[in-house]
Structure 1
Amino acid sequence: MRIGIFTDAYKPLISGVVTSVVTLKEGLEKEGHEVYIIAPSAPRHYKELDPKVLRLKGFIIPRRSLKGFRWIPLSRIFTKRVRDLKLDVIHIHTEFSAGDLGLHVGKKFKIPMVYTLHTSYQDYTHYISKFLTKFAPSLAKRGAFIINNRYTKNCQMTIVPTKKIYDKMIRLKHDGRFTVIPSGIDLKPFYKSSHDPKDVEALREKLGIKQGEFVAMVVARVAKEKSLPDLVDGFIEFHKHYPNSRFIIIGDGPDRPALEHHIDKLDARDFIQTTGFVKHEEVGIYYQVADVFLNASTTETQGLTYVEALAASLPIIVRYDEVFDAFVTDGENGLFFNKTEELTELLIKVQEDKVLLEKLRKNAEASVINYSQEQYAKNVTKLYEELIKENNEKLALKNKK
């Protein structure tokens, strides 16, 4: 098959969407398919070496929350370039300029279209308009609905990563058809067996981790919806009980200055550190220096960093959300909390109960085997084949009339 993936987020950007797209592309190519990425132009310092990545001229978006993203004005002028790729199926991973081009080409040339919903914008209206979110929240949510619904309505199938998101789409009465396919990742870079203990020890020294120190970690975009201050507050209380501990926050984002101010205000800089941006290909070794993985977000559509942590044999202590029902069993490979004070209690519990901590570690890696790159590619390939067959039958029936 010749597959076109349309996305506004691609390398060298770092995000869950980019990880998902790269994983899918590589997995499909291993299956023998030709995969083309249609994305905005990359930053000047980045040289595109992949001939199957079609870069369309885009302009920087002057918003801090969208740093690194580019907008393709009049994207439909590139219709001929995309048509010449002779695509069998179009897979859209965005709601904006590259996505608009994908919809246009799919409709014009009767190519079956798949849409992966990475972001349900009802949870992110502050990115659409802070003013409307504050003063007209119902109008903001309506706008968010329209953004997603344009794609769910016009594509032949929408992929959602969890039953939680599937149920939400039905509850919100989005148009279209939906199927649940968990996003996969290349798990190998996160396995403990993939890393030399000497390299792990060198990283521990670089980060200033002391001998015997209990280390908690989060890998996340530093943004409002991740609720990182809650983790900071809960860990500070834990640190009072167990001073030989450290919390490492990996990631960057629009709320990083506010988060660091929060840490400084609470005089916690000695044991809570922020690393800022870390290249995705280097993140795997960072998981190896931690004892537990924390998160407090309840707006995840799939939670790929949680899967990464579990693949690294890291128990996860996370605020409960339905998205975890597919791969986290409370007390087996992770622990759930709701209130911040419960996070403190659970940290104390796993630090004191070494038997429980070891049990969680042993169960972690095996619990995410279904999220492998190979399985993801196989699941999506099967969907493509079904939609292409369905599309051909419809076209044949139409030509008979």
Structure 2
Amino acid sequence: MKILIASDLFNPEVNGIVTSINILYEGLKKHGHDVRIVTLSQTHSERKDGDFYYIPSINADIVYPHARLVLPGKYKIIKELIEWNPDVIHTHCELSTFCCACYIARKTNTPIVHHYHTVYKYYVRYLPLGNLWVRPIVPNVIRQISRKTKAFITPTDKMRQILEGYHIKSDIFVVPSAIRECFFDSEYFKYRNSIREKYGIKENECILLYLGRVAKEKNIEELVDFIGDEELSGYRIMIVGDGPHRKKIEKYIQKQKVSDRVIFVGMIDPNEVPRYYVSGDIFVNASRSESQGLTYMEAMACKIPVLCRYDSCLDGVITNSVNGFMYNNRDEFKQYLRLLANDEHLRTTVAENAKTMVFEKYNQEKFVKECEKIYELKKI
């Protein structure tokens, strides 16, 4: 099958959408499909690099930090993709490359399957008056997209319910995204001590780990507040990642006078991500904006106990005291943290259960096969 994947976001960007696309691309290629990806160039020039087609774009920070928008024009690479004549187009974003995908679909009579990744109500805050003029039109935009697609894929029931609330016309399939195969390897555990030594972490010190984008919607301030509680003075948090909210978080840490309890690592090489997961003792996350929360699954695959704020995307995924903990307030956070920190048997049991669950539900093979079924169903 000839499959075209379209996304505004792609390498070297590091986020859940890009991770999902890379895993899907690699898996489909393993299954013998002819797969190509159309995305945005970081320049005003079009180019092609193997299976990857780059459309000229311009900076659009006003829309979202580091965002880009396509430059209108007639491009050779689009003509080439039309001549290639894909069987299915799998879109992953709602802006520039979706428009390009629609153009290719019209010219080739190719069905579009759209992957809905983003809970937009948490992102419109980046726009001037976004909550007033953008948020109300999101349902209408998604309905317009649904009229041009054969199906929607979404990673969780939370996202399916959002789409159903928009009254879209397309069929909706819930297909959890997979995590990278490297997280199922234990080789990275040997790096734990060297990373902890690098940041001055004592052997028996319990480190809370946040790993992900440093953005407003991730609610990192809540974790900073918690770690500043005098009852938790024996704990430190390591923040691994970077993003548009970093400077504000750093100022907030100083304002709360907890700089001595926070280790800010910043951006790391994606290949080193598993090594940083295992350098922590408990993975923490206060976000309520996740569509699936791949970092939670990655931590669980690395056998790091998860302590996160309740989010409906985790219904059926995390069960308290079984394979992790979800809290609703400060008191619950402190209670569960102490449980995990003080009970080695509980930590081990929770971590083992989490790894088993993730391996069964979020592996590449299962993800790719589910997508293939939808392609076959919708290309007719």
Classify the TM-score, shorter chain: over 0.9
What is the number of equivalent residue pairs in this alignment? 376
- The answer as to whether partners of 2:140 and 2:166 remain within 8 angstroms in 1 is no
Q: Classify 1:379/1:76 alpha carbon distance in 2 versus 1 (closer, same or farther; 3 Å).
A: farther
Q: What is the alpha-carbon distance in structure 2 between the residues aligned to residue 341 and residue 282 of structure 1?
A: 33
Are 1:157 and 2:151 counterparts?
A: yes
Q: Classify 1:84/1:108 alpha carbon distance in 2 versus 1 (closer, same or farther; 3 Å).
A: closer
- The answer as to whether partners of 2:143 and 2:166 remain within 8 angstroms in 1 is no
Q: Name the residue aligned to 1:227.
A: 219
**Deviation string for 1:116-160 (max 9, x for gaps)?**
001132332213x33142xx3xx4322222333332231100001
Are 1:376 and 2:367 counterparts?
A: yes
Task: Report SS of the residue matched to 1:326.
Answer: coil
Task: Report SS of the residue matched to 1:66.
Answer: coil
- The answer as to whether partners of 1:113 and 1:157 remain within 8 angstroms in 2 is yes
TM-score, normalised via structure 1 length: 0.88
Given residue 40 of structure 1, which amino acid in structure 2 is its aligned partner? L
Aligned mate of 2:182, from 183, 186, 189: 189
Larger proportion of helix: 1
Q: Which moved more, 1:23-32 or 1:351-360?
A: 351-360
Residue 280 of structure 1 and its aligned partner are, at CA, apart by 1.8
Q: What is the alpha-carbon distance in structure 2 between the residues aligned to residue 149 and residue 253 of structure 1?
A: 30
Are 1:39 and 2:31 counterparts?
A: no
Q: Name the residue aligned to 2:72.
A: 74
- The answer as to whether partners of 1:76 and 1:101 remain within 8 angstroms in 2 is no
Are 1:217 and 2:209 counterparts?
A: yes
Are 1:335 and 2:333 counterparts?
A: no
Q: What is the alpha-carbon distance in structure 2 between the residues aligned to residue 378 and residue 3 of structure 1?
A: 14
Q: Classify 1:146/1:88 alpha carbon distance in 2 versus 1 (closer, same or farther; 3 Å).
A: same
Contiguous gaps of at least 5 residues in structure 1 = 390-401
Residue 65 of structure 1 and its aligned partner are, at CA, apart by 4.0
Given residue 26 of structure 2, which amino acid in structure 1 is its aligned partner? E
Residue 61 of structure 1 and its aligned partner are, at CA, apart by 2.2
Task: Report SS of the residue matched to 2:8.
Answer: coil
Taking the TM superposition and a 5 Å limit, the aligned residue runs for 1:133-212 are: 133=131, 136=132, 139-186=133-180, 188-191=181-184, 193-195=186-188, 197=190, 199-212=191-204
Residue 330 of structure 1 and its aligned partner are, at CA, apart by 1.5
State the superposition RMSD in angstroms: 2.0
**Deviation string for 1:40-99 (max 9, x for gaps)?**
11469xxx99401011111222449422x3321226656423202221110001111111
**Deviation string for 1:1-37 (max 9, x for gaps)?**
1110000111011111111111110011111111101
- The answer as to whether partners of 1:64 and 1:254 remain within 8 angstroms in 2 is no
Q: What is the alpha-carbon distance in structure 2 between the residues aligned to residue 297 and residue 196 of structure 1?
A: 27
Q: What is the alpha-carbon distance in structure 1 between the residues aligned to residue 257 and residue 108 of structure 2?
A: 60
Q: What is the alpha-carbon distance in structure 2 between the residues aligned to residue 287 and residue 130 of structure 1?
A: 36
Q: Classify 1:307/1:76 alpha carbon distance in 2 versus 1 (closer, same or farther; 3 Å).
A: farther
Q: What is the alpha-carbon distance in structure 1 between the residues aligned to residue 38 and residue 31 of structure 2?
A: 20
Runs of 4+ with >6 A deviation: none
Contiguous gaps of at least 5 residues in structure 2 = none
- The answer as to whether partners of 1:221 and 1:253 remain within 8 angstroms in 2 is yes
Q: What is the alpha-carbon distance in structure 2 between the residues aligned to residue 79 and residue 310 of structure 1?
A: 41
- The answer as to whether partners of 2:2 and 2:33 remain within 8 angstroms in 1 is yes
Are 1:92 and 2:91 counterparts?
A: yes
TM-score, normalised via structure 2 length: 0.93
Q: What is the alpha-carbon distance in structure 1 between the residues aligned to residue 142 and residue 270 of structure 2?
A: 28
Aligned mate of 2:254, from 249, 252, 264: 264
